[in-house]
Amino acid sequence: MAQKTESFSIGVMASDHVAVGVVQDHKVRGSVHAIPDLATIPPDSLAPVIREKIDAICLEAGVDPAAICAIGFGFPGIVRDGIVQDSPNIKQAKGLNLAQAMAAVFTGTNSRIPVLVLNDADAMAAGVAATRGALEKLVRVWTLGNGIGFGRYPELEGAWECGHMVVTLDPKEHYCGCGGLGHLEGIMGHRAMRMRFLDMEPEEVFENAKDGDAKCQAFTKLWHRALAAATANLVHQDGPGKFYITGPNSVYIEIPLLNQYLHEMVKMTPLQGSVFEVIPTSDEIAVIGAAVSAAFQSPAS
C-alpha cells in the first residue's frame, strides 16, 4: 500500500534516548527532537512525555496534531501487538502496552490514531529502504551498540532476535545481557565488551589492537568473526544480499576482514555475493523508518 500523499506521520525511535520527528513523503519535516536518558523515565510516564514532544515538533513543523495519520514507534526488544514482551536493555519496559499508552495520550485530539510499535532495528531497516529508494528491495541492517540489533525490511513475522544468535559453543562466552550463552551480543555488544575487558574501554581495545597488543588483536578478530558468523547464518536461511551496518560501534568495522570471514563461511555458489556497507548512525533514518512503517499499515483515508 502506498503512503498517502500530503499526510503526516510521527516517527518515534527509542534507544538509550528517544528521538521524535514529523515525517512527510519519507522526509523529516522540521527537525528530530531528542528526549535524553530513556532509562530514567518511568514506563508509565513515557507516553505523556512523548506526547509533549510531539506537540512541540508539530508546532515547529506547522502541523496540527489532529492531522497526524499514524504513529510508528521503534522500540528495542521483542514487540508483539503493541506490547513490549521483552527488552533486555530496557528492562523496566517489559510488559508495557506501548500502543495503548500512546493512543491514550491522544484521546480527545486524535482518538482514532493508529499506533504501530515495531522493533527498533526493523524501523532502522525500513528507514534505510525509504531513504535510499529501496522500498522494493530486501534491506538488512545490523546496529552495533549496547545491544546488537538486526532489522529486516520488509518486516517478517517472527522473533528475529538475531543479536542473540548463537555464534560460539564456548561455555566461557557468557557476557550477553539476556543471560544466554554464546550469543553474538555477548561478544559484540558494548556492555559485553566492557564486562570482558574490565580494565579497558572498548575504544582502547580497538586502539591497542592496532598498536599490536596480542590479546586485543585476538579479540577484534573474534568480534569480526562473530558478525560474519551471524550474517552467514542469515544468508543460509534468508539468502545473500546487502547487509548495512550502523550504530556507534560500527566505526570499528573493517569491511575487508568481515568479507574474508564471510567468504570462508559461505561456500555454496548461489548463496555467495553478499555485500557489507557501513552507514552513519542517524536518528533521522530510524524516525523516518518508524513513521513510514506505520503509514503503510494505517487504513487509507
The residues binding Zn ion (CB under 5 A) are 164, 176, 178, 180, 183, 185
Decide: 138 and 153 in contact? Cβ < 8 Å.
Answer: yes
Secondary structure in 3-state letters for 137-161 = CCEEEEEECCCEEEEEECCCCCCCC
Give the integer Cα–Cα distance in Å for 74 and 96. Answer: 14
Residue (122 or 284) nearer to Zn ion, CB:
122
Q: To the nearest whole angstrom, how small is the minimum distance from the Cβ of residue 88 to Zn ion? A: 7
Shortest gap between Cβ of 215 and Zn ion (angstroms)? 24
In whole angstroms, the minimum distance from the beta carbon of 184 to Zn ion comes to: 8
Q: Cell 482518538 identifies what position? A: 111
Grid coordinates representing 219 are 579479540
The nearer residue to Zn ion, 61 or 178, going by C-beta atoms, is: 178
Pick 53 or 191: Cβ nearer Zn ion: 191
Q: Is 71 or 176 the residue whose CB approaches Zn ion more closely?
A: 176
Contact 293, 122 (CB under 8 A): yes
Write the single-letter amino acid at 245: I
- Please say which residue, 122 or 185, places its beta carbon nearer to Zn ion: 185
Residue whose CB is less far from Zn ion, 185 or 283 = 185
Give me the least distance between CB of 148 and Zn ion, in Å please: 9
Residue placing its CB nearer to Zn ion in the complex, 3 or 87? 87
Q: Report, in Å, the least distance between residue 74 CB and Zn ion.
A: 20
User: Cβ 150 to Zn ion, closest distance in Å?
Assistant: 12
Backbone angles phi, psi at 144, to 5 degrees: -105, 105
Q: How far, in Å, CA of 143 to CA of 151, rounded?
A: 8
Separation in Å, CA 184 to CA 19, 135, 179: 26, 28, 12
Burial per residue of 247-256, b for 16 or more beta-carbon CB atoms within 10 angstroms, e otherwise: bebbebbeee
Hey, what's the cell of 262?
564471510
Alpha carbons 41 and 231: distance in angstroms, whole number: 34
Q: How far is the CB of 162 from Zn ion (least distance, A)?
A: 10
